[in-house]
Homo-oligomer: A and B are copies of this chain.
Amino acid sequence: MTKKTTTLHDIAKALNTSIGTVHRALHDSPDVSPETKAKVLRAAKSLGYRPNLAARFLSSKKSLRITINTLQGTTSFWDDIRTGVQEEAASAPIENVDLDFKTYSHLGELQEEVFENAVRDRVDGIITFPSHPKTFRPWIRRATRARIPVVCAVTDAPDSGRSGLVAVDTHASGAIAAELMGKFLGEQAGSVAITLFDRAITEHAEKFGAFERTLQAYYPRLRLLEPVEDHGMAAEAYTKCRTLFEESADLRGIYVTTEDSIPVIKAAKDAKLLHRLTIITTDLFPDLVPHIRSGAVAVTIYQRPRTQGRMAFRVLLKHLAEGGGRSTEVTLAPHLVMRGNLDFFLQRQSKETTHEKASRNGGEMAGDFS
């Protein structure tokens, strides 16, 4: 019953071979005969070998280069994601991590170019936001084939062979939005709207679906209108909402699933029904704060970008350390921010910033993943 953990040495002597060979077999390097490799693998399994990460990090000389390909964004969302990655990298038990942040301001080809470059440069890992999952899939496959682990953040790229995913649960988000909308509206009947980026994006379609189903199931007196697609364009969001507000006299509430809630709020204000509408938004950023405080926004569904960044790095590091393995999927529950608990979240954000400046020497506690 001794808890002795098996080491490379153990399995080497069990096979009457050398620790070097065992190591090579375990890392399928080209220079090892298929038979020995098979033997080693079998022995490793039967002995319950699990690599000692501390030893691995300690002895490994190569410094990890990982690229983070993300949007510039119009809010602080993506900045927060990047901050999260940085924080987690700083507190990781490994010294040489080079983070290479590639930020582009618009979706499109640049993204693929950046990704391709990373693969060609043979970086050690990639954290990416696959804005157009289908278009992106082949690129990820290519990286995977080159044995470069790719972790998707915020949006998934299904069937791409990605080694990890970090995102907020979209069903839970849509459902809770509907639930709150229904409760907040109480006995009122009427119609409810939803804005999203594009129905073609899985995550947005899922939020919409969950919102719709939950509304139907529990609040059938509320009628859901056709979704408003803004395609990430503030102007489009504004114009379409103005039209919507004029055409739907019985509109009671609107759920904004994208980060472009400011134009929607402005449209509501200009249409003089800012406080007659129950507005539910997504995420939390400086420009949104006064609207939450004033009660114009009833609740915002916070997707915890910093935690997403942290988890993305963790997932990537895990794959780097363990060398492959099955895909790791991390699904976060969103946070709900209202007037009442707004200060709690703001305080936390400012604390990060301060402390970001104060101690550049990383190492600070692993935050809180709240």
The interface of chain A, by Cβ under 8 A from chain B, is 3, 5, 48, 50, 52-55, 57-58, 93-96, 169, 171-172, 175-176, 178-180, 183-184, 186-187, 210, 214, 218, 295, 298, 307, 311, 314-315, 318, 322, 328, 330-333, 335-336, 338-341, 344-345, 348, 361, 363, 365-370
Contact = CB atoms under 8 A, between A and B. Distances in A.
Nearest to A181: B340
Contacts of A96: 3
20 contacts: A3-B96, A52-B58, A53-B54, A54-B58, A57-B93, A93-B93, A169-B341, A171-B341, A171-B344, A175-B340, A178-B340, A183-B298, A218-B295, A311-B369, A318-B366, A328-B365, A333-B345, A335-B335, A336-B336, A369-B369
Contacts of A341: 169, 171-172, 175-176, 179, 333
B331 A370 contact: yes
- Which one of A210, A295, A363 has the greatest number of beta carbons of chain B within 10 Å? A363
Nearest to A362: B50
A332 B186 contact: no
A2 to B, nearest CB: 12
Contact of A314 (B318, B328, B331, B366): B366
B93 A53 contact: yes
Nearest to A48: B361
Contacts of A169: 341, 344
A253 to B, nearest CB: 12
A361 to B, nearest CB: 7
A279 to B, nearest CB: 13
Nearest to A311: B368
Contact of A333 (B94, B295, B318, B335): B335
8 closest residue pairs by CB, A with B? A369-B369, A179-B340, A175-B340, A186-B186, A172-B344, A172-B341, A54-B57, A54-B58
Contacts of A171: 341, 344
B344 A179 contact: no
A41 B39 CA distance: 51
Contact of A340 (B176, B339, B361): B176
Contacts of A186: 186-187
Nearest to A335: B333
Contacts of A307: 369
B94 A54 contact: yes
Contacts of A311: 366, 368-369
